[in-house]
């Protein structure tokens, strides 16, 4: 469209444009309208449903959670008016001095250290392999995706059977099997959850990488090959930079979903066991906010979690941006 | 090319709008309507929820049909309680939203203090015959269900006094007399449990859920504690009762069970008793219909340190009650229906259709014909007169979670000293119980 670039169009609200002037010249009214609604007011209309969705589903709950975290709040029946006194940072002091809460953040740290690198490495490696596979490509793609779309409850039951003390894994390991067994072992409980989540979500992340791999120009591989690069060098110098945007997304999603861990410790390790070795902040939020009727402290945990996730995501973004440069 | 950043003014505008929206909605959240004094006598259609198991659905359908046939102007609509992580979560959310029905026939006594604090429950004592009806029907046991102000915010409805079920075939295989198993004292129980496991009759002697949910201690510690103390609750008069010689003896008994691998400490999928993983289970009479075609079972009271006579042993009630909820507008009808559904006739229907024990006095004599025809249930009916409920105290769920965490650490996984852990838990629970 080079012609449009050579033309010198008159902006719709340009003073010289007759359409922009009203009976009194219309200059002031038009500029105020433009300032309020922009040059394309229909855009606001089109974006409004999503903006409302964001406001209702995300902004309001977050704002309300922040409010609750600074008050002594509990849920009441409609029509029951109770004071919700402002308590300053008391709820934050309570949760940040609670050993169980601190331990739960530590558990999430262990989880992320294991889960995120594993997720990136395995999903990228398998996506590259699947991208090159000639035979059974569809079968393997479906096979990796099945755990992702299967209900956690069903998959957890299989893992419980596999990793119990007399399960298949320990029978294979024989004397090398840990005692107590994996899911009731304080050392192994959190790594097992990390492994489970990595395995379960792998299919989704493989799909992301497969999509990204379609956008890596084949010419780059040919050039690398002409320059004498082997498969590993090609992978490092062409594939990894070529899917960097996808890697940033995978990292972000893995961090966010990992920080919100609930189902796995609830089901796989019997409610954060053994002896609280796999509790997570969201599990404690459920216990305190829903079961124990203390939404204020649950909200404080949630706010701290959001802040920590934002910090980690920000650091992740800075690092990926730096490597892009 | 990176998209341009929104201007600072724009970002501030968005933030302000979000905050303002949150504040407006927050203000909206504090308002709403409530029940009026007229509601207490109002008559008209009502809605109820009942449990979603097959037997209670059958009972619920027949009681509603019987009422509706006789009361065309006060029709009752019944639904199964919606599914959620637990009934208590569902009810708590419904109270907050104002969408709960008039009556819920699945109200856990442990959740009542929380629902009461939410303003979600109608005080049944506010009805002219409220207290007298409850106390006449349930007798002395009713007192356990009264709140701190002495009023009843729940109708004691049915109990499932837990006892020790045992698999007669497995006991025979282990060389134990199935007609007179030695399970009365802790020592006898341990010796019998060892025989079962050592003989290979079953992988485990018993398998209470080892998970960390707050209510799991109702099925390992609490029945034995009730038996050991002659019917004490976990908390009485704002003070914890379990950090006592009896409570510690119960804890040490279970610790030995776990340490010697007579009970499993891993999450078990399925029912360990019916699938043959364990030779014993601590369950109430609801399980009879479940086990009848699967296990050749017998039943005995829970053990005590000494040989307590069976007719003196207390146990945990595992009761479910009926609550009348705040959004109910036709409370007059709701109260009438509540009395109708807990009448002698309907309690008989409940017993017949579900095998669960109505919380009323003189159960064995009132339904003598039923127990003569169904002798399996007779022991439970006798036991029902000596049941202990969870304490009706502030922070009830948090208290039980605190206890469960201590129990998991010291008893199930043996990670900490029993006495010290129980002392620490008692200190924290005393603080929780003293809060209003």
In chain B, what are the domain boundaries? Answer: 41-153+320-358, 163-317+392-434
A97 with A24, same domain: the answer is no
* Nearest of B110, B433, B163, B119 to residue B282 by alpha carbon: B163
Kindly state the DSSP code that residue A71 receives in the 8-state scheme: B
* Nearest of B320, B328, B322, B317 to residue B341 by alpha carbon: B322
- Inspect the interface and report whether the beta carbons of A291 and B401 lie closer than 8 Å: yes
SS3 of A32, please? helix
> Do the Cβ atoms of A313 and A256 come closer than 8 Å?
yes
Is the model's pLDDT at A133 over the cut of 80? no
Name B297's Cβ contacts closer than 8 Å, sequence gap at least 6.
B165, B166, B167, B168, B291
Across the interface, which of B22, B397, B408 has its CB nearest the CB of A273? B408
3-state secondary structure A180-244: CCHHHCCCCHHHHHHHHHHHHHHHHHHHHHHHHHCCCCHHHHHHHHHCCCCHHHHHHHHHHHHCH
Which of A58-62, A174-178, A313-317, B332-336 has the highest mean predicted lDDT (pLDDT)? B332-336
SS3 of A187, please? coil
Parent domain of A26: 2-37
CA distances to A119, A315, A317, B72, B141 from A311, in Å: 20, 6, 10, 63, 55
Name B397's Cβ contacts closer than 8 Å, sequence gap at least 6.
A291, A292, A293, B110, B111, B114, B214
Q: Which of A43, A66, A80 to mutate to test the interface with B (most CBs of B within 10 A)?
A: A80
> Do the Cβ atoms of B226 and B144 come closer than 8 Å?
no
3-state secondary structure B155-184: EEEEECCCEEEEEHHHHHHCCCCCCCCCCC
A176 with A265, same domain: the answer is yes
Which of A4-18, A260-274, B116-130 has the highest mean predicted lDDT (pLDDT)? B116-130
Averaged over A70-77, what is the pLDDT? 94
- State the fold for domain B163-317+392-434: D-Maltodextrin-Binding Protein; domain 2 (3.40.190)
Residue A276 domain flag: yes
> Do the Cβ atoms of B169 and B183 come closer than 8 Å?
no
- Inspect the interface and report whether the beta carbons of A270 and B114 lie closer than 8 Å: no
Q: Which residue of chain A comes nearest to B24, CA vs CA?
A: A60
The count of structural domains within chain A is 2
A23 with A102, same domain: the answer is no
Spell out the CATH class of B41-153+320-358.
alpha beta
What's the rounded Cα separation, in Å, for the pair B216 and B209? 7
Identify the band that residue A11 occupies on the pLDDT scale cut at 50, 70 and 90: very low
> Do the Cβ atoms of B137 and B360 come closer than 8 Å?
yes
DSSP states of A76-107? --TT------B-TTHHHHHHHT-HHHHHHHHH
Q: Which of A61, A157, A166, A293 to mutate to test the interface with B (most CBs of B within 10 A)?
A: A293
Residue A243 domain flag: yes
Write the CATH number for A95. 1.10.3720.10
Residue A135 domain flag: yes
> Do the Cβ atoms of B386 and B361 come closer than 8 Å?
no
pLDDT at position B5, please? Answer: 41
What's the rounded Cα separation, in Å, for the pair B133 and B155? 10
What's the rounded Cα separation, in Å, for the pair A258 and A1? 46
Residues on A contacting B at a C-beta cutoff of 8 Å: 55, 59-60, 63-64, 67, 74-82, 84, 100, 157, 160-161, 164-166, 180-181, 183-184, 186, 268-276, 286-288, 290-294
Is the model's pLDDT at A36 over the cut of 90? no
> Do the Cβ atoms of B134 and B124 come closer than 8 Å?
yes
What's the rounded Cα separation, in Å, for the pair B167 and B281? 9
- Inspect the interface and report whether the beta carbons of A291 and B397 lie closer than 8 Å: yes
pLDDT in tens, chain B (436 residues): 333 444 444 444 444 443 333 333 333 333 333 345 677 889 999 999 999 999 999 999 999 999 999 999 999 999 999 988 889 999 999 999 999 999 999 999 999 999 999 999 999 999 999 999 999 999 999 999 999 899 999 999 999 999 999 999 999 999 999 999 999 999 999 999 999 999 999 999 999 999 999 999 999 999 999 999 999 999 999 999 999 999 999 999 999 999 999 999 998 888 999 999 999 999 999 999 889 889 999 999 999 999 889 899 999 999 999 999 999 999 999 999 999 999 999 999 999 999 999 999 989 999 999 999 999 899 999 999 999 999 999 999 999 999 999 999 999 999 999 999 999 999 999 999 998 6
**A226, β-bridge pairs:** none
A24 with A149, same domain: the answer is no
Is the model's pLDDT at A180 over the cut of 80? yes
- Inspect the interface and report whether the beta carbons of A75 and B95 lie closer than 8 Å: yes
Structure tokens at A231: 């498969």
SS3 of A3, please? helix
Is the model's pLDDT at A8 over the cut of 80? no
CA distances to A61, B23, B29, B96, B100 from B26, in Å: 10, 5, 5, 14, 22
Residue A181 domain flag: yes
Contacts of B269 in chain A (CB under 8 A): 157, 160-161
- Output phi, psi for B165, to 5 deg: -85, 140
Residue A172 domain flag: yes
Residue A58 domain flag: no
Contacts of B22 in chain A (CB under 8 A): 59-60, 63-64, 67
Residue B10, Cβ neighbours under 10 Å: how many? 10
SS3 of A44, please? helix
Is the model's pLDDT at A132 over the cut of 70? yes
C-alpha angle with apex B179: B176 to B183, nearest 5 degrees? 60
- Output phi, psi for B320, to 5 deg: -125, 135
Structure tokens at B321: 């009650």
- Inspect the interface and report whether the beta carbons of B33 and A79 lie closer than 8 Å: yes
| A273 vs A218, higher pLDDT | A218
* Nearest of B354, B380, B187 to residue B299 by alpha carbon: B380
SS3 of B279, please? strand
Sheet holding B357-358, edge to edge: B76-80, B46-50, B103-107, B320-324, B155-159, B357-358
pLDDT at position A28, please? Answer: 55
Percentage of chain A lying above the pLDDT 70 cut: 90
pLDDT at position B45, please? Answer: 96
A32 with A168, same domain: the answer is no
Identify the band that residue A13 occupies on the pLDDT scale cut at 50, 70 and 90: very low
Structure tokens at A189: 């409980």
- Inspect the interface and report whether the beta carbons of B209 and A270 lie closer than 8 Å: yes
**Whole-prediction pTM:** 0.85
SS3 of B46, please? strand
Name B68's Cβ contacts closer than 8 Å, sequence gap at least 6.
B75, B76
pLDDT at position A324, please? Answer: 63
- Inspect the interface and report whether the beta carbons of A59 and B266 lie closer than 8 Å: no
A32 with A108, same domain: the answer is no
What digits encode the pLDDT tens for the residues A157-176? 899 999 999 999 999 999 99
Across the interface, which of A67, A78, A270 has its CB nearest the CB of B267? A270
Element (H, E) at B289: helix B288-291
User: CA of B48 to nearest chain A CA: how many angstroms apart?
Assistant: 18
> Do the Cβ atoms of B110 and B390 come closer than 8 Å?
yes
Here the ipTM equals 0.82
Contacts of B399 in chain A (CB under 8 A): none
What's the rounded Cα separation, in Å, for the pair B240 and B234? 6
> Do the Cβ atoms of A323 and A251 come closer than 8 Å?
no
């Amino acid at each position: 469209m080079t012609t449009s670039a050579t033309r010198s169009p008159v902006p719709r609200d340009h003073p010289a444009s007759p359409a922009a002037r009203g009976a009194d010249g219309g200059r002031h009214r038009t500029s105020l309208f433009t300032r309020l609604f922009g040059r394309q007011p229909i855009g606001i209309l089109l974006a409004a449903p999503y903006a409302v969705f964001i406001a209702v589903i995300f902004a309001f709950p977050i704002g309300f959670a922040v409010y609750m975290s600074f008050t002594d709040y509990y849920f009441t029946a409609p029509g029951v008016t109770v004071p919700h006194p402002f308590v300053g940072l008391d709820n934050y002091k309570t949760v940040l001095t609670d050993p169980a809460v601190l331990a739960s953040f530590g558990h999430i740290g262990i989880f992320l250290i294991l889960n995120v690198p594993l997720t990136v490495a395995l999903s990228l490696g398998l996506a590259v392999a699947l991208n090159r596979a000639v035979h059974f490509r569809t079968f393997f793609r479906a096979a990796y995706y099945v755990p992702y779309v299967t209900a956690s409850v069903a998959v957890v039951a299989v893992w419980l059977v596999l990793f119990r003390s007399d399960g298949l894994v320990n029978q294979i390991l024989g004397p090398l099997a840990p005692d107590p067994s994996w899911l009731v072992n304080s050392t192994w409980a959190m790594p097992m959850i990390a492994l489970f989540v990595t395995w379960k979500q792998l299919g989704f992340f493989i799909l992301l990488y497969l999509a990204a791999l379609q956008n890596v120009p084949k010419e780059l591989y040919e050039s690398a090959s002409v320059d004498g690069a082997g498969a590993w060098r090609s992978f490092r110098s062409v594939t990894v930079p070529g899917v960097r945007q996808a890697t940033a997304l995978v990292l972000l999603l893995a961090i966010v979903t990992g920080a919100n861990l609930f189902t796995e410790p609830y089901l796989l390790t019997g409610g954060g066991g053994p002896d609280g070795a796999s509790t997570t902040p969201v599990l404690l939020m459920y216990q305190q906010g829903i079961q124990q009727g203390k939404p204020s402290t649950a909200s404080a945990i949630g706010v701290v979690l959001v802040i920590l996730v934002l910090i980690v995501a920000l650091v992740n973004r800075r690092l990926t941006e730096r490597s892009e440069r | 090319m990176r998209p341009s950043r929104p201007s600072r003014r724009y970002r501030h505008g968005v933030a302000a709008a979000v905050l303002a929206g949150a504040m407006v909605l927050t203000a909206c959240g504090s308002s709403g309507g409530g029940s009026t004094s007229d509601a207490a006598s109002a008559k008209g259609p009502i809605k109820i929820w009942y449990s979603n198991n097959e037997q209670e659905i059958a009972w619920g359908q027949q009681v509603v049909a019987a009422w509706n046939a006789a009361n065309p102007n006060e029709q009752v609509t019944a639904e199964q309680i919606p599914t959620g992580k637990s009934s208590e979560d569902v009810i708590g959310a419904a109270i907050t939203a104002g969408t709960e029905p008039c009556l819920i026939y699945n109200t856990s006594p442990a959740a009542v203090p929380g629902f009461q604090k939410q303003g979600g429950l109608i005080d049944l004592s506010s009805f002219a015959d409220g207290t007298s009806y409850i106390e006449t029907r349930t007798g002395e046991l009713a007192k356990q269900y009264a709140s701190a102000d002495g009023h009843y915010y729940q109708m004691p409805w049915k109990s499932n006094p837990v006892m020790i079920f045992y698999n007669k075939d497995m006991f025979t295989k282990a060389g134990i007399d199935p007609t007179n198993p030695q399970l009365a004292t802790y020592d006898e129980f341990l010796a019998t449990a060892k025989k079962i496991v050592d003989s290979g009759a079953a992988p485990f002697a018993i398998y209470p859920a080892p998970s960390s949910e707050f209510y799991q201690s109702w099925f390992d510690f609490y029945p034995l504690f009730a038996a050991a103390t002659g019917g004490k609750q976990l908390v009485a008069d704002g003070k914890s009762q379990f950090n006592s010689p009896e409570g510690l003896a119960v804890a040490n008994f279970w610790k030995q069970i776990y340490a010697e691998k007579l009970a499993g400490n891993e999450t078990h999928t399925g029912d360990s008793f019916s699938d043959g993983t364990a030779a014993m289970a601590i369950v109430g009479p609801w399980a009879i219909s479940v086990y009848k075609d699967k296990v050749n079972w017998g039943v005995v009271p829970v053990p005590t340190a000494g040989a307590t006579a069976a007719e003196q042993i207390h146990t945990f009630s595992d009761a479910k009650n009926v609550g009348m909820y705040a959004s109910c507008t036709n409370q007059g009808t709701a109260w009438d229906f509540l009395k109708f559904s807990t009448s002698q006739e309907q309690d008989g229907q409940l017993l017949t259709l579900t095998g669960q024990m109505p919380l009323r006095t003189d159960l064995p004599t009132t339904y003598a014909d039923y127990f003569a025809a169904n002798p399996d249930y007779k022991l439970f009916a006798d036991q029902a007169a000596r049941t202990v409920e969870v304490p009706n105290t502030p922070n009830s769920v948090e208290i039980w979670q605190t206890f469960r965490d201590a129990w998991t650490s010291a008893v199930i996984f043996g990670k900490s000293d029993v006495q010290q852990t129980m002392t620490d838990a008692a200190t924290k629970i005393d603080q929780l119980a003293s809060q209003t």
